Amino acid sequence: MRNRVIICEASEMIAIGLAEIIDSMAQFDVVARLDSPEHLSEKITSSDANLLIVDPMLLGFHNKDFLSQLGKEHPQVIMIALVTSYLDHSMLTPYSGFIEINDTRSKIISKMDEFVQSETTKNTDDVELSKRETDVLVAVAKGMMNKEIADQMNISIHTVISHRKNITRKTGIKSVSGLTVYALLNNLIDEKDLI
């Protein structure tokens, strides 16, 4: 299962360079590049992204409030800071990690792997998902988008998103690849079911 990445960075040169590095990795797809956070929430929903790389300088002083709201709307998204200039370390606390402008290609690749792995290895003991949440989890693990899940289960896309938020809250796993591993480990799907 490939991770779907959005890059939010004002510098086109930096965004394109980072996208090229990330796209070279087998488990990642850059699905959007934005130069401002204006339509970020809508883009996350429409692209079903699970990883966001954003320059905290674009968010300014409202960094924590913006990310808090975004986290409530999209709990499955891993938020990574793209540090392009000096920042007070308190601005980085809302993020799961950060990539620095002077990181090498191999360092960026290593960090991207770590971000996804840290989500997968979170404690998932004693999790009780409802039947419908389990169905949604299996569909997500099989690579289905929110709209496809809604159509297949004959429910609204908002209901699917609500189930996904509950799954994330209960399991502590935000990434699609992490949920796929969770589904495999709990015998909810078989490897042959994966795309």
Please report the pLDDT score of residue 121 as a whole number: 52
Q: Is the dihedral of CA 88, 121, 172, 20 positive or negative?
A: positive
E strands, the chain, in order: 3-8, 28-34, 51-54, 78-83, 97-100
**Cα separation, 167 vs 136, whole angstroms:** 9
8 within 8 A of 31, measured Cβ to Cβ:
no
Domains and CATH numbers, the chain: 3-120 (3.40.50.2300), 131-193 (1.10.10.10)
Please report the pLDDT score of residue 90 as a whole number: 73
**Cα separation, 27 vs 110, whole angstroms:** 12
**Cα separation, 30 vs 24, whole angstroms:** 10
For residue 52, list its beta bridge partners: 6, 79
167 within 8 A of 136, measured Cβ to Cβ:
yes
pLDDT along the chain (195 residues), means of 10: 90 95 91 92 90 89 78 86 84 85 92 78 62 90 90 90 86 82 83 69
Q: What is the pTM assigned to this prediction?
A: 0.64
CA neighbours closer than 13 Å in the CB half-sphere of residue 26: 1
Provide the 10 A C-beta neighbour count for residue 139. Answer: 22
Side-by-side strand order, sheet with 51-54:
28-34, 3-8, 51-54, 78-83, 97-100
Please report the pLDDT score of residue 123 as a whole number: 44
